[in-house]
Amino acid sequence: MPALTSTSKISLLTIGRADHEIYQNFGHTAIRIKDSILGWDLVYNYGTFNFGEPDFLMKFIRGKLLYYESIDNYRDFEQMYREENRWIREQDLNLTQEQKQLLFERLTINAREENKYYKYDFLFDNCSTRPRNIVLSLFKTIQFKKDADDAASFRQLIDRNVTNEWLDVGMDILIGIPTDKKAGYGRTFLPDELMQLCDSATVDGKPLVSGNNLILDTVPEYNAKNWLTPGLVFWILFFVVLMLQIKWSVFSRFKIIPIVYFSILGVFGWLFLFMWFGTDHLSTKWNLNILWAMPLNIPFFFFAGKQQLPKFVLTYIKIYRILLICLLAGWWLNPQTYHSAVVPLILMGILFTSIFLPVPTKEDFKKRLFG
């Protein structure tokens, strides 16, 4: 392993977020090693994956896709983000020559074929946490200033970075209770948060960062705001459904529409269960969205089209309606934060379940009170 010269410089690169692709929404982190005497300008990048890998999509969905550390030429690295119109900030790390050499050797050894692969985890093992861990491992004492984002949950930090509201709803209903925990130091799973933490860090009695410079800026772009948000669409849909039922009892006469609606919720419920038990993603465990997108809608609502509802189907619908009402009544007591756009979906569920249940008579109330 060659020795770095006294002209060597090691820095942390932070790349700004973008909205072109889902994986660009959260930014990126890499480590740059530059040595003018050796003629090196290298970028160590833990965010590399292979689109051409066999069964790529299924491995990605199941959380089994292997990411790896790559070594790139800085000019190529910068050009890629220039084309994507994303900014790059560079933080010069305040390291001794020994620490520079040690970091260089660790990064180089980790990039070897037998060492470079790792199983990516969005919150706890990604392109930001790996550079963080390897840099901070060089020091004995590490101190950080408190930050307002320490009290934010992982879910709040994710929401903040997803500007497309349809994508935000999709991600929000796929992730579970683990993301509602306070992030604290774990907020550095986001590159921008790691950059802020490093700016305030003191290591072995000295500042970790000796400078933070903008080395590539963005060109302003116009992005039209999409006013057709999920919340607006779902609320309009609910009020249309409500008016159609009140005025013409449309869904009492055509029960196939509620059956299709509950079947769609059931499909989502089975998806949530698959992401919970069938994948390695930690962020999709304990997803309580299955309480309104109930997996048991399939198969129970397959029997709901019959003229006379089977008793077990009637019992299920009663329990399901009670559950939906309790979800709204105890909205703020739920350990998981639900996206506000699901409120009209739950209300439609309450309305549609009521269609299948008989209207209580005076005799029914008497039986309940005195029977």
In what helix (H) or strand (E) does residue 92 lie, and over which residues does it extend? Answer: strand 88-93
Structure confidence at residue 97 (pLDDT): 97
Listed as ranges, residues in the chain with pLDDT below 50 are: 365, 369-370
Residue 225 located in a structural domain: no
Residue 81 located in a structural domain: yes
Residues 153 and 239 in one domain: no
- Of the three residues 188, 216, 244, the one that is the final residue of a domain is 216
Residues 13 and 112 in one domain: yes
3-state secondary structure of 189: helix
Which pTM does this prediction carry? 0.91
Q: Which of 371, 336, 361, 346 is nearest to 180 (CA)?
A: 336
Residue 222 located in a structural domain: no
- Of the three residues 190, 216, 242, the one that is the final residue of a domain is 216
Residue with token string 């948000």: 229
Residues 189 and 306 in one domain: no
Give the CATH number for residue 83.
Answer: 3.90.1720
Hey, which bits of 36-81 come out as E strands? 40-48, 66-73
- Of the three residues 184, 216, 248, the one that is the final residue of a domain is 216
Residue 224 located in a structural domain: no
Q: How many residues are present in the chain?
A: 371
Structure confidence at residue 363 (pLDDT): 62
Residues 210 and 315 in one domain: no
Residue 39 located in a structural domain: yes
Residues 289 and 158 in one domain: no
- Give the range of the structural domain holding residue 342, as residue numbers without chain letter: 230-370
Residues 212 and 267 in one domain: no
Dmax over CA atoms of the chain, in Å, equals 94
Return contacts of 280-284, CB within 8 angstroms, 24+ apart: 280/62, 280/63, 280/64, 280/119, 280/121, 281/63, 281/121, 281/122, 282/121, 282/123, 282/124, 282/178, 283/122, 283/123, 283/154, 283/175, 283/176, 283/178, 283/179, 284/174, 284/175, 284/176
- Write a three-state SS string for 322-361: HHHHHHHHCHHHCCCCCCHHHHHHHHHHHHHHHHHCCCCC
Residues 252 and 189 in one domain: no
Paired residues of 30 in beta bridges: 13
Residue 213 backbone zone (phi > 0: left; psi -120 to 50: alpha; other: beta): beta
Structure confidence at residue 362 (pLDDT): 59
Residue 2 located in a structural domain: no
Count of domains in the chain? 2
Structure confidence at residue 191 (pLDDT): 97
Residues 59 and 203 in one domain: yes
Residue 142 located in a structural domain: yes
Residues 141 and 24 in one domain: yes
Residues 237 and 341 in one domain: yes
Which residues, at least 6 apart from 270, have a Cβ–Cβ distance to it below 8 Å?
A: 295, 298
Paired residues of 73 in beta bridges: 42
Residues 237 and 209 in one domain: no
Residue 234 located in a structural domain: yes
Residues 163 and 275 in one domain: no
